[in-house]
Amino acid sequence: MDDQRIRRFKVGPPKTKGDYDSVDGRLSIRVPVKAGLRRIGVTFADHSDALLERKRQPYRVAFNMHRHPRLSPAIYQVSINGPFQIQGSGETASRAKIFIEKPQTPAEEDQCAKRILSHLMRRAYRRPITSEDLIQPLRFYRQESAKKGFEAGIETALSAILVSPQFLLRIENEPHDVLPDTPYKVSDLELATRLSFFLWSSIPDETLLDLASHGALSKGDELTRQTKRMLRDPRAKSLITNFADQWLYLRNLDSFTPDARLFPDFDENLRKALRKETEMLFGHILKEDRSVLELLQCNYTFLNERLARHYSVPGIHGSHFRKVALKPEMHRGGVLRHGSILAVTSYATRTSPVIRGHWILGNLLGSPPPPPPPNIPALEETSVDASLSVRERFAEHRANAACARCHDVLDPVGFVLENFDAVGRWRDMENGRPVDASGGFSDGSQFEGVEALEEAILRRPKLFVQTLSEKLLTYALGRGIETYDAPAVRRIIRHAEKDDFRMSSIILGVVRSQPFQMRKTLP
């Protein structure tokens, strides 16, 4: 706890097969802990590889819930119970946010409750509170406080607030003085909520609410100042864990389970490391306000020892991630070289040029092909010679004229990444033969290898920036992009181009756009 060892256990196999309770039962301890935030860690001490031959680690698989081989026991979960012998509610940070004041006498309780609930409801409902808003929560407070006391009454009233549609839903009321089917600017309070959920995935803070309540958020350059302030806040991390994870398909890593016979080193630690690398690159560009083009091409990445070994990058030790300068022979860099992207665009047993090509065209270039026609046969793995390369297998598949229409667009783009296997490792050979990583776009341009693909995309950077802008605008609005949003997207790109396509320029362009600041009344 807090980097200090509390207890060390020796774990052995159960005496009776399957009797894991007898093992876990010896792993319980009770320790005194002062109230507050604490860092808790539970781990197995790492062993050096310089051991006797019989103890050497044949694979890097250290933690895997459903796969074998497994080198050692693994931690499935940790349960923390307490406190025991409770002597009072104490003073915690969460209680301080609720009980902004306390009544000194019973006569003061009702007015004190009103002020506490008004303060909580203002944050929860994201607007000033009226006397009508207080009626229902106060009714719950008075019913419960009469039986169990002041704090129990506040608890019940807070429960009512947290199930209110005003808290659970983002409600934007149409003004009465605007004609039907007419565009209008949303109010400052609604704009504050849109901005906060876009950048933080949470409710506005006091600063934003105060400005919006006084109608100052949309005045002058205040919206720009607040956007930049919020991007500097740690809560802007939600753009990584929510937006980037959705856009780049990182959430699909949880369901990616490669064949254990073909990829015996893949385990949960590697899965998390792959995702962490891509999230840290996006977070670095966001925090340092760098050009979004670095997502495609950069001479650095973020690695820990587990991921560095997977990539065959030497000299990286320890479980913590750090920024690593790259050499060309390491074959690493932008997201097209990240194991996370390469894994979620593969099958359990092999790479998939179709999925990779579709991912590049749809997620980076904004031009996904149309859905396949019905009744298209799948590539039958059992009917194709397993010694053939993926390219040769797909050549047989494309012989079907109905398949060729889509595959002639998708496959050449995906084939460019064939130097990376299904778990993102670099390879020069496939089934004993050199990898053919040549490909191209449907416009006739030809290139070979991931570096050439990156250069081809960067020769027309506005295509990538347009796609990212549309994805961000979709995320910010909570709806898909329509044809009438095209002028707003073009303005975002023009504004960002003047600033070297920096991340903040694109985000500011989204915030300043008409779709973000306006809506239309119902017909």
| pLDDT, tens digit (0-9, with 9 covering 90-100), for 311-327 | 999 999 998 999 999 99
Q: What is the pLDDT of residue 385?
A: 58
> Residue 336: is its pLDDT beyond 90?
yes
- Please answer whether residues 344 and 254 qualify as being in contact, where contact means their C-beta atoms are separated by less than 8 angstroms: no
Domain presence at residue 447 = yes
Q: In terms of DSSP bridges, do strands 300-303 and 433-434 run parallel, antiparallel, or are they unpaired?
A: unpaired
Helical H segments across 178-322, by residue range: 188-199, 206-213, 222-232, 238, 245-247, 268-287, 305-311
Domain presence at residue 419 = yes
Q: What is the pLDDT of residue 118?
A: 97
Per-range mean pLDDT, top range of 5-9, 56-60, 463-467: 463-467
Q: pLDDT for 28-71, tens place per residue?
A: 889 998 878 899 998 887 666 555 554 555 667 766 666 555 55
Domain presence at residue 444 = yes
| Structural domain that includes position 399 | 345-458
Q: What's the whole-number mean pLDDT along residues 196-220? A: 96
Q: What's the whole-number mean pLDDT along residues 205-220? A: 96
Q: pLDDT for 382-404, tens place per residue?
A: 455 566 677 776 676 666 666 66
Q: What is the mean pLDDT of the chain?
A: 90
Helix 206-213 / helix 109-125 crossing angle, nearest 10 deg: 90
Q: What is the pLDDT of residue 52?
A: 53
The number of distinct structural domains making up the chain is 2
Q: What is the pLDDT of residue 343?
A: 98
Distance, in Å, from the CA atom of 421 to the CA atom of 266, rounded to the nearest integer, reads 13
Q: What is the pLDDT of residue 69?
A: 54
Domain presence at residue 497 = no
Distance, in Å, from the CA atom of 65 to the CA atom of 44, rounded to the nearest integer, reads 16
Q: What is the pLDDT of residue 15?
A: 81
Of 168, 184, 212, the last residue of a domain is 168
Domain presence at residue 373 = yes
Q: pLDDT for 27-36, tens place per residue?
A: 888 999 887 8
Distance, in Å, from the CA atom of 373 to the CA atom of 368, rounded to the nearest integer, reads 15
Cβ within 8 Å of residue 392, ≥6 positions away: none
Domain presence at residue 433 = yes
Domain presence at residue 210 = no
Q: From the centroid of its chain, how far is CA 94?
A: 26
Domain presence at residue 480 = no
Range scoring the smallest mean pLDDT among 50-59, 183-192, 241-250, 298-307: 50-59
Range scoring the smallest mean pLDDT among 74-88, 154-168, 180-194, 245-259: 74-88
Q: What's the whole-number mean pLDDT along residues 288-300? A: 97
Q: What is the pLDDT of residue 382?
A: 47
Q: What's the whole-number mean pLDDT along residues 396-425? A: 82
Residue 129: count of CB within 10 angstroms of its CB? 19
Q: What percent of the chain has pLDDT over 90?
A: 71
Higher pLDDT, 52 or 423: 423
Length of the chain, please? 523
Q: What is the pLDDT of residue 65?
A: 64
Of 145, 168, 191, the last residue of a domain is 168
Q: How far apart are the first and last CA of the chain?
A: 60
- Please answer whether residues 489 and 481 qualify as being in contact, where contact means their C-beta atoms are separated by less than 8 angstroms: yes
Range scoring the smallest mean pLDDT among 130-134, 368-372, 451-455, 518-522: 368-372
* DSSP string for residues in 154-190: HHHHHHHHHTSHHHHS---PPPTTS-TT-EEEPPHHH
Of 458, 474, 491, the last residue of a domain is 458
Instruction: List C-alpha distances in Å: 31 to 5, 35, 91, 166.
Output: 12, 12, 21, 42
**Which residues make beta-bridge pairs with 300?**
325
